[in-house]
Amino acid sequence: MCEVTVTKKLFPEKTYMPRNFDLSEWKQFTKDSKLFNSTMNDIWHNEHKGPDYAWLPIQLDLNILQPNNLEFSESHELFSPEDRNTDLFKHKTYEKNYIQKAKSNDATHEYLANIFDLKYVDAPVHVQNPGNYVAPHFDLYGYFLKRCPDYFNTAKLKRFAIFLSKWEVGQAFLLGKSAVTNWKPGDVIEFPWYMVHSTMNISKSPRLYMNVVGLSK
């Protein structure tokens, strides 16, 4: 396993989490799509302080993060018809947001948990093929909640994106008012759990990245 060095984090706890939700509060909060959307918009527009994301100078073992035996799903819509019946995703831009996913194995979860000092890690690999995009949205963390049914609190919720393919012109990861580009395989960014985000790929090559969610210990 490679050595990992992390410099001072860009998001101090006091500015990284304007509000706090425990598991029961989060489940109740996300049931009301109109309340959820308006509240999340208010958090990142009015309560967020500091940058929208941070590059982390970490050296990662790509052989662990991207093993040869990953099994990717067929391209599917990120937002289901049920999602688009809610106030969150009614706009036509949420139609045909295609993505492919592959589940990471336990060894990858353990590796990432040690690097980022996390527990209950979820880290699927996403493939965005040329011509596809994902419209702006806030995450509900439904898949992640399945990995931590007994404990969830946004005060400890951490988000990272690990880029697994080389950046090409036409690819972008949009966070709040910022656009992430020009990444290299193995580059890592951290961003707040409440940050609105979207992605696009109008290049000629697939874009791969690992979507890491976990709770700090």
Q: Which domains does the chain have, with CATH numbers?
A: 13-216 (2.60.120.10)
Distance CA 100, CA 201 (A): 13
Name the pLDDT band for 16 (thresholds 50, 70, 90): very low
Give the chain's mean pLDDT. Answer: 83
149 against 163, higher pLDDT? 163
- Helix H, strand E, coil C: the string for 10-27 is CCCHHHHCCCCCEHHHHH
**144 φ, ψ to 5°?**
-65, -40
What's the whole-number mean pLDDT along residues 193-202? 93
Name the pLDDT band for 146 (thresholds 50, 70, 90): confident
Residue-level pLDDT at 75? 61
Flag whether pLDDT at 13 surpasses 50: no
Contact partners, residue 208, CB within 8 Å, separation at least 6: 66, 125, 126, 127, 163, 164, 165
